[in-house]
Amino acid sequence: MTSILGTALKKSTAVVDAVTGGPRWAPDYAYPVTAPFVLAIGTASFTAYLATETGRAILGELRRRRRLREKRPDSPSLRGAPTPEELEADAALSPRTLAIRLRMGSRLADLEPTLDAGIAHKTLPNGQKRIRSRGPGLKGWLADRRVTVNYSTLVRYKKLVQRLRQLLALDDRLPLEWLLPGAVPSHPVPPDLQTQYQTARRRLARLLRDHWNFSRLQRYVEDKLGIPRLLSVRRAPAPAPDRWGGKPRRAARPVRRPPPQPARVEATKRELLRFLREPSLAPPLAHLRNKVLHWLRTLPPNNR
């Protein structure tokens, strides 16, 4: 919206400069007298610009964006979407324990369905589709509200919470924040979710007791859901201690030797020409055939 209005303002400024003869058309002491005149010309030019076809298109785009903001869906969870102050308050807590991280991820998971993260495509003349625009999504929501929390960190918290919800088979209305130890629901739990709420609360407490670290809990959830570890590093097993109980000896590092180099073969020009005249030559070498033949023709007969 700012860029659209900025473009319209630049067009109006250009019209005012063209009418008045530039920005320095009057001395500074006459500015109080000329300011209302310039303001009237600027307002008239801006109104005339919005009355054109481009101006009407700009107004239609602004109305469309306002309707989209008004039709933004509500959060499916009973808690509702969080506020920027709640996220910053959780991020300022030190140390940031596992329960706080899961609470932040739960709030972001409740917020994400209310944000516009869709992709608009455009069709090219040849029938192919290209991305025209992307919705701001979570990153745009954080930037608009000046939330000073690392976006990548928040995405990690949200992803773990979403996988935990999948592992616990939670209903969309039940936020994971209410299942954390010591958490009190801000709204009454519906009767049809009471059994699921109590069971999932006990299971989550057991998981947090057995896997108290964020990385350990993430690995356990990924293993349970069958998510492959694409960036896993296999470490070599630690060497066993010797029979006298002393420290294990480290194995000597193997000496790195350079790989053997192939023997260099010198080919004459006649052999090269015979090789290039083969009918089953690869396309890249066949492309260079004419250049090599031209080079051979430029040589004297005794050097061929």
Tokens representing residue 92 in the block? 């300022």
The letter for the amino acid at 182 is: G
Pairwise CA distance, residues 300 & 304, whole Å: 7
Question: What is the reported pLDDT for 246?
Answer: 58
Would you place residue 3 in the very low, low, confident or very high pLDDT band (cuts 50, 70, 90)?
low
Q: Where are the domains of the chain?
A: 2-70, 84-225, 278-303
Summarize pLDDT for 85-138 with one digit per residue, the tens. 998 899 888 888 999 999 999 999 999 888 877 777 888 888 888 887 777 888
Question: What is the reported pLDDT for 97?
Answer: 92
DSSP string, the chain: -HHHHHHHHHHHHHHHHHHHTSTTSS-GGGHHHHHHHHHHHHHHHHHHHHHSHHHHHHHHHHHHHHHHHHTPPPPSSSS-PPPHHHHHHHHH-SS--HHHHHHHHHHHHHHGGGS---EEEEE-TTS-EEEEEE--HHHHHHHHTT--S-HHHHHHHHHHHHHHHHHHT--TTS-GGGGSTT---SSPPPGGGHHHHHHHHHHHHHHHHH--SHHHHHHHHHHHHT---TT--PPPPPPPP-TTS-PPPPPPPPPP-PPPPPPP----HHHHHHHHT-TT--HHHHHTHHHHHHHHHHS-GGG-
Question: What is the reported pLDDT for 302?
Answer: 58
pLDDT of 175 > 60? The answer is yes
Pairwise CA distance, residues 295 & 304, whole Å: 10
* Mean pLDDT value across the chain: 77
Question: What is the reported pLDDT for 133?
Answer: 75
State the average pLDDT over residues 186-194: 91
Q: Are 210 and 217 in contact (CB under 8 A)?
A: no
Name the packing angle between helices 214-225 and 98-111 (round to 10°): 50
Pairwise CA distance, residues 158 & 90, whole Å: 14
Summarize pLDDT for 10-56 with one digit per residue, the tens. 655 665 555 555 555 555 555 455 556 666 776 777 777 777 777 77
Report if pTM > 0.85.
no
Summarize pLDDT for 222-281 with one digit per residue, the tens. 998 888 765 444 555 666 665 565 555 666 667 777 777 666 555 566 676 777 777 777
